Each structure stands twice: as C-alpha cells, then as structure tokens.
Structure 1
Amino acid sequence: MKKSTERQLSPYNTELKLKGFNAFQIEADGAATKMYSRKDFYKICLTTGKSKIHYADRSFEHEGTILFFGNPHIPYSWETISRTYVGYTCLFSEEFFKVSERSESILQSPLFKLGGTPIFDINEQQRDTLNEIFRKMIDEQESEYPYKDELIRNYIQLIIHEAMKLQPAENVEEPKNAAHRLTAVFLELLERQFPIESADAPLSLRSPKDFADALSVHVNHLNRSVKQVTGKSTSTHISERIANEAKALLQYTDWNISEVGYSLGFEYPTYFNNFFKRIAGTTPKSIRDFTA
C-alpha cells in the first residue's frame, strides 16, 4: 500500500479544510484560539475592542468596532491591546466561495486586494446589522438544511456588499514604528508557511531575500529591522522555525528523512542533515529513533 505523504493536522484544521468554512463567536467559542492553516483561508472579523493591525508598509490602530477582511496571500499581524475583545469571525477557503463568476469577482474587490484598506469603522447600527448576519451564519452551519453552503455564501456576499458601501478607516499609524511593523509582518509571513501538510509541496520562502521580495522591501532593510527589534538575525529566525518544523515532522509523521528534508526545501538529504545538526545540535535520525 502506498504510504501517504499528507500530514495529519489538528481536528479543527482538518474539519475546517473539509468544510471550507467556519464561523464562531470570539468570546464564546474555543475555536477562536485554535490553530488553522492561515495560508489557506480568507477571514472576515467583526470585533469590538482596541487593536493594531500591521502590514509591511503601514499599521492601523483602532478602538471600538471594526470590520476586517483578511486575504491569505497578504501577510498581516494582529495585535490585541484591550482586555475586553469580543465579536465574530468567519473563515472560508477560495474553493468554498468561488462556485460562480459572481463570487470570483467579489474576491477581486478592493477588500481583498494588495494595497487596499480592508478595515472599516462600524457604528452601532451597522454593528447590529452585521451581528445578525454572523449569528445567522453560525446557526446555519449547524443546521441540516441541504443547501446551507449556498446560503452561507450569500451571507458572506452580503457582508462584503455592506462593507463596499463604507469608507475605509484612516487611522494609519505614523512610520516611527516601521521596524516593529515590518518585523511583525515578517514573523507572521514566516509562521504562515507552517504547518507543512504535504511532502510533495516544498517550502517556498527559505531565505531573507525570499521574504524581502514577498514583502516588497530591500533585504538589507528587512535584516536591519528584524535585528533591531528582536536581537536575532532574519536568517536565525528562519532557520530556527524550519528546524522546529523538522522536529515535528520527524516526530509526528511517518515520512522518511529525505521526504522531511524535501518538504522543507532541501533538495538533498545531506544538505538537510547538515542544516539540522547545525541548528538542533543533533541529527534527524536521532530525533526519529528517539521518537520510535
């Protein structure tokens, strides 16, 4: 029997990938803190509280209620500031949403575009309207209605259309914290590559230049910012995160060592062995043997 090269992830992530959609109330549902593969899902959040949202080129600080649209292809970092933080979130995959040309065109709207402003200040009346839509989505996903996916897509489209009537928020933070902002988004983009789910889909961003290109900044600027904020080099952050993922793959999958190395971007096993020994102080075989 052919061995699977697919990694078994958390039950929440597995269920989310199968359904392609999940909505939950932030203060009431444990799913709000569960891990999922961020590279696969669009996100819409309606939240009340104080927070900062960082992109590579700018940050937004808000207090009150906001409506936020997250694109899995555009890295961002979310910093919650206030103790009280409530609202709703829905996650959906491109495959779940794009069942028609109309749906596809909505994903091309400025809400999900690079350089757009997908954050909107929401007044009390608008919040009540959006709360009701989110509640209907949550109720519908638990129902036995055979066409509930189509109805949920309509609710998502309704939220998108409500947002397109609004003016984007303008609370842009001054560039004095540019190094912190860029570092936060770099770390988010680094983390977004994990967990590795298949040995057949190698890691795409492995060097400081790869990340700098993805963030549209010069590699020297990225390196200076990350070192200034964290005390570690960009290369160190990347290497340590890859090594941690390698340990997890060696411990929790049945992939052979060559497959683990290839999934992390190492074309030859020797390169992977040398890298892992340099960062982890031991060999991949030692980790695998200890686990077994």
Structure 2
Amino acid sequence: MGKPASEDILVARFSDYLAAHRDIHFPHRHSFYHLAFFTAGSGSHTIDFEKFPVKPGQLYFMVPGQVHSWFFSGEIEGYVMNVSAGFFNAFLQDADYVERFPFFSGVSAEGVVQLPKAAIPVVTAQFEGMLKEIKGEQAYSQDMLRLQVLGMFIAVSRASRQGESRQELPHNYVLLRNFRKLVEQHYMQLRLPKEYAALLYVTPNYLNAFCRHMLGKSAGEIIRDRVLLEAKRLLINADMSIAAIAYQLNFADNSYFTKFFKKYAGTTPEEFRKNIS
C-alpha cells in the first residue's frame, strides 16, 4: 500500500529518464521488462542489433536480456517503464500471463508497435495515470499500478491488431510460443530440431514445416539464430574473451565457434566486437 519498491517498477517521463541515464546510447541489457513510448522526437533504436527508426506513437517492448541502444535527434518526449518479471506474480495465478502478449515474444521486430492515431491519447492517459499512482500516496497504489500496466498491455495489443487478419488457429500460437520458450531455455545444450520436436510431442518434419509456415524459417534456423544472438550479446562485454564465450555457448573449441559466427554473421567475433565498441 506504500510506495512501490523501485526494483519492482519504475515509470518516468522520457526527458527525466534521459537526464538520469546519460550513457543510454551505449549497448546495454536489462534484467527486467523495459518499455518505451514515444510521443515526440526522432532518431533510431537498435534492439538485439536490429535498427528501427523512432517515430511518435511508437512503443518498444523489451524482455529481460535483450541488448539495446538509442540514437536520438530533436526533443524526445514520451514515457519509460521498467518492470520486474515478478511484479505481477502476487496478482496473477498464471506466472506466464505477461509472456502471452505478442510484443513480449523476445523477437525485436515483434516488440515494436506503431499505434493508430486514435490509440495514442488513450495510452498517453494511461501512462499519466501511472505517474500519479507510482507516488504511492493512496491505499492499494501498487495493486492499482498492476491493473493500469496490464490494462495498457491489453489496450496496445488490441490497437496493434486492428485490421490485422488473424486466420491462424489458436493452437498454432500456443505451439509457437511453447517452441520459442523451449529454445530460450535449452539453446545452449539442445541444437537439433528433433530434440525440440520430442519435447513438443510432434515429429521433426512437422516442426520444420510448422516453423516455415509461421515464421518463414526452419526449426534449425530458429535454434541457430538464438545461439548467434546470444554470441552477439556476449560480445558487447569487452571483458569476456572469445574463448570464454565459445565455452559458455557450449562449442567444442574456439575455432569451431569462430567458423560458426563468421558463416552466419558474415564477420569474425573480433571484427564484430570492434564494430560495436
């Protein structure tokens, strides 16, 4: 009922957040969900090494572990939210509820939402309500914040799906979410589609055909892309040697890792590190 603990949730105007985090343009990662909503300004935002142009009415949703950096031009305004994975746990019976929103898939492009014009004032008002509530001056302020944040997630999800044809069967989205979750949990140990197919109780051929239909990639490519992404994320840490990264990612040796990285990233790990520093 008091002021929410800062490690659970932070809501701020973007200009205030920028003033307190001046090194925000360097690539960095968070251990919490990170959300930015732009109402004015321009520039670019890079999430997991994929660059997006910043536009008013845009929301960026990031899951824990994603690497991102900003490059702004003009007066930037909007809102920032950091929220811990456990913030909703005291409120929701389903611990995985938040992950079901499409923008929290962990795929960069799916976490970028351009709101229709009619939805911008609605989401702006929701953030303003959170800024008032986060002061914690009234009873049940933390529970009200949980309601407001979940309400905003639902409003954004509805608005971003307007006019979108969703002919896919619901069980397809459940299977896709389960596959992605398994890859996230096991990509360092399990590298073969047949291993994931067994965990999902489907055949390897079905899993490959399903992934091609839903994502335009084979199951093997999705697993490989996740390994490559983690290698890139680890390479931003200059204190970690290439050999240590290869070991952490479960490669047999440093040279095998370097060959893998060059084949799929188009550059050596050393060159990649040099270009992002």
Classify the TM-score, shorter chain: 0.5 to 0.7
Alignment partner of 1:219 is 2:261: yes
- Kept in 1, the 8 Å contact 2:41–2:75? The answer is yes
Show the counterpart of 1:128.
Answer: 121
Identity of matched residues, %: 14
User: Number of residue pairs matched?
Assistant: 190
Return 5+ residue gaps in structure 2 as ranges.
162-227, 252-258
Which amino acid in structure 1 is aligned with residue 58 of structure 2?
I
Show the counterpart of 1:8.
Answer: none
Aligned to 2:45, which of 17, 28, 53? 53
Show the counterpart of 2:148.
Answer: 155
Spell out the pairing of 1:61-140 with structure 2 (5 A cutoff). Answer: 61-73=53-65, 75-99=66-90, 100-102=92-94, 104-115=96-107, 117-140=110-133
Alignment partner of 1:23 is 2:11: yes
RMSD value over aligned CA atoms? 4.0
Distance 1:228 1:112, change over 3 A: same
SS at match of 1:158: helix
Deviation at 1:91, TM superposition (A): 0.7
Which amino acid in structure 2 is aligned with residue 207 of structure 1?
I
Deviation at 1:77, TM superposition (A): 1.9
- Kept in 1, the 8 Å contact 2:62–2:106? The answer is no
- Is the deviation greater in 127-136 or in 222-231? 222-231
Partners of 2:238 and 2:130 lie apart in 1 by: 29
Partners of 1:57 and 1:143 lie apart in 2 by: 37
Partners of 1:188 and 1:126 lie apart in 2 by: 34
- Kept in 1, the 8 Å contact 2:48–2:233? The answer is no
SS at match of 2:56: strand
Show the counterpart of 2:32.
Answer: 41
* TM-score, with structure 2 as normaliser: 0.55
1:182-235 alpha-carbon deviations (Å, 9 max, x no partner): x999676556899xxxxxxxxxx941564698xxx9333558255445647x9x
Partners of 2:21 and 2:9 lie apart in 1 by: 16
More relative contact order, 1 or 2 (CA 8 Å, 6+ apart): 1
After TM superposition, the runs of 4+ consecutive aligned structure 1 residues lying more than 6 A away are 34-37, 183-187
Which amino acid in structure 1 is aligned with residue 260 of structure 2?
H
SS at match of 1:96: coil
Partners of 1:87 and 1:30 lie apart in 2 by: 11
Deviation at 1:143, TM superposition (A): 2.9
* TM-score, with structure 1 as normaliser: 0.52
Return 5+ residue gaps in structure 1 as ranges.
1-14, 169-182, 195-204, 238-292
